[in-house]
C-alpha cells in the first residue's frame, strides 16, 4: 500500500507541476524464466497433462499457489522500495496464471497489469510482461509468429513486442522472447535459426524506422553470448548486451551439470545504452539448493517428476534505467 501511494504521489505531482519534477522514480526491468508455470486445469488444446493434480507430478492447487507466492516474493524483493517497472516472464501457460499472479497473489497490492502471447507451442508455454502503469503507459502490443510450421517444424513461442511511454515522455519498445534450445538435432537447430531471424527482423525494423529508438530486448535465449546466432543477432541489430560475454564459473542464470551459464539476457539499443546499468543477478538463500561442496543451484520446482518445492531453475536478471 505504501508503494502504491508513493507512485501515485509522484504521478500527481508530475502532472500538476511538470517543470518542477527533476528526479524520476527508479525504473527497473527484470527478466525471469519461472520454470513451467502451469495452471491446474486441463487445456484440451495443449499438452499440459503432466502438470495436473492427478498426474505423476501431482501439480496440485496448493503447490500452484505456493509458487505464485514465491514468484511474487522474489519480484517484490527485487524491487525493494519501488516495484520493478517491467518484469518479463518466460514459461507461463496462459492468462489464468497471469491473473493469479497480478490480481490474486501478493502482487495484487502493487497494481501490475500484463500483456502476453498466445503461441502455438504444443505445451502451451508463452512469454508475458508485467508492467507498472504509472511508470510504463501502454501504447501498443503485437506478437510475432516464428514460422516453424511452414517448414514442418515443431511450433515454438511467439516473440512479444510491447511499447509504452516512460517517465520523461520517451517511448520505450520492449521485446520479450524465449528462444528454442539448441537440442533436437538438425530440426532443432533450424527451428532456433528461424526464431533468431524472426527476432532480428523485428528489432532491425524498429531501429530502421526510428534510428534513435529506445529498445529493450529481454528473455531466455537458451544460449550464451558466445553462441554464433546470438553474436550475429546483436551485430545485425546493432544491439548492446548488458550480460557478460565471457564464461563465469561461479555465477550465471542457469546451472547444468555443475556448470554455470548466462543464457538469459538483456540487450539494449545504442540510444539506451548510456541510460542502462549492467545486468545484475538476483538470488537469496531460500531460492537456492545448497550442495555438500558449498556450491549451490537454483532451487527448481521439480527434480525430474519429484516435487522439490523451489521457485525456478533460472536466476532472475535485472537492469536499472535512468530516464
Domain assignments of the chain as residue spans, ordered by start: 27-310
Is residue 174 pLDDT above 50, yes or no? yes
Q: What predicted TM-score, i.e. pTM, was given to this entire model?
A: 0.91
Is residue 41 pLDDT above 50, yes or no? yes
pLDDT in tens, 269-293: 999 999 999 999 999 999 999 999 8
CATH node for 27-310: 3.60.10.10
Q: How confident is the model at residue 17 (pLDDT cuts 50, 70, 90)?
A: very low
- CA dist 57 and 118 (Å) reads 25
Is residue 31 pLDDT above 60, yes or no? yes
Residue of higher predicted confidence among 181 and 166: 166
**In the prediction, which pLDDT does 21 show?**
39
C-alpha radius of gyration, the chain, whole number: 19
Is residue 13 pLDDT above 60, yes or no? no
DSSP single-letter state for residue 103: I
* Residue carrying the nine cell digits 525430474: 304
CA-based nearest residue to 244, from 280, 283, 192? 280
Question: CB–CB of 102/108 below 8 Å?
Answer: yes
**In the prediction, which pLDDT does 229 show?**
87
Q: How confident is the model at residue 184 (pLDDT cuts 50, 70, 90)?
A: confident
Output the nine-digit C-alpha cell for 93: 501457460
Q: How confident is the model at residue 1 (pLDDT cuts 50, 70, 90)?
A: low
**In the prediction, which pLDDT does 233 show?**
86
Q: How confident is the model at residue 183 (pLDDT cuts 50, 70, 90)?
A: confident
pLDDT in tens, 289-300: 999 988 999 999
When the pLDDT of each residue in the chain is averaged and rounded to a whole number, the result is 91
Classify residue 219 as exposed, middle or buried by CB count within 10 Å of its CB (0-12, 13-18, 19+). Answer: buried
Helix, coil or strand: residue 286: helix
Output the nine-digit C-alpha cell for 81: 522500495
**In the prediction, which pLDDT does 23 show?**
59
Residue of higher predicted confidence among 166 and 2: 166
Beta strands 280-281; 317-321: pairing state:
antiparallel
pLDDT in tens, 213-266: 999 999 999 999 998 888 888 876 689 999 987 777 889 999 999 999 999 999
Q: Which residues contact 254 (CB under 8 A, 6 or more apart)?
A: 260, 261, 262, 263, 264, 298, 313, 314, 315
pLDDT in tens, 90-141: 999 999 999 999 999 999 999 999 999 999 999 999 999 999 999 999 999 9
The arithmetic mean of pLDDT across residues 151-180, rounded, is 96
Amino acid at each position: 500500500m505504501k508503494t502504491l501511494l508513493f507512485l501515485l504521489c509522484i504521478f500527481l505531482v508530475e502532472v500538476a507541476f511538470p517543470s518542477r519534477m527533476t528526479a524520476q522514480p527508479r525504473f527497473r526491468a527484470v527478466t525471469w524464466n519461472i520454470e513451467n508455470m502451469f495452471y491446474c486445469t486441463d487445456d484440451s488444446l495443449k499438452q499440459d497433462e503432466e502438470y495436473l493434480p492427478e498426474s505423476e507430478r501431482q501439480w496440485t492447487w496448493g503447490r500452484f499457489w505456493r509458487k505464485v507466492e514465491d514468484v511474487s516474493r522474489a519480484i517484490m524483493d527485487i524491487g525493494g522500495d519501488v516495484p520493478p517497472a517491467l518484469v518479463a516472464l518466460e514459461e507461463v501457460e496462459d492468462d489464468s496464471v497471469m491473473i493469479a499472479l497480478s490480481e490474486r497473489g501478493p502482487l495484487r497490492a502493487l497494481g501490475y497489469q500484463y500483456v502476453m502471447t498466445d503461441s502455438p507451442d504444443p505445451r502451451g508455454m508463452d512469454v508475458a510482461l508485467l508492467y507498472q502503469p504509472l511508470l510504463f503507459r501502454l501504447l501498443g502490443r503485437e506478437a510475432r509468429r516464428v514460422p516453424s510450421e511452414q517448414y514442418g517444424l515443431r511450433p515454438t513461442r511467439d516473440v512479444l513486442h510491447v511499447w509504452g511511454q516512460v517517465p520523461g515522455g520517451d517511448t520505450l519498445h520492449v521485446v520479450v522472447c524465449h528462444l528454442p534450445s539448441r537440442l533436437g538435432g538438425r530440426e532443432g537447430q533450424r527451428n532456433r535459426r528461424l526464431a533468431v531471424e524472426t527476432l532480428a527482423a523485428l528489432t532491425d525494423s524498429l531501429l530502421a524506422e526510428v534510428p534513435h529508438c529506445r529498445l529493450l530486448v529481454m528473455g531466455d535465449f537458451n544460449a550464451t553470448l558466445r553462441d554464433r546466432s546470438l553474436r550475429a543477432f546483436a551485430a545485425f541489430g546493432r544491439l548492446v548486451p548488458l550480460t557478460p560475454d565471457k564464461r563465469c564459473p561461479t555465477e550465471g542464470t542457469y546451472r547444468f551439470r555443475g556448470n554455470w551459464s548466462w543464457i538469459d539476457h538483456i540487450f539494449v539499443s545504442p540510444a539506451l545504452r548510456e541510460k542502462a546499468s549492467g545486468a545484475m543477478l538476483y538470488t537469496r538463500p531460500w531460492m537456492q539448493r545448497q550442495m555438500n561442496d558449498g556450491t549451490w543451484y537454483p532451487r527448481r520446482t521439480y527434480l525430474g517428476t519429484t516435487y522439490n518445492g523451489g521457485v525456478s531453475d533460472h536466476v532472475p536478471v535485472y537492469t536499472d534505467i535512468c530516464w
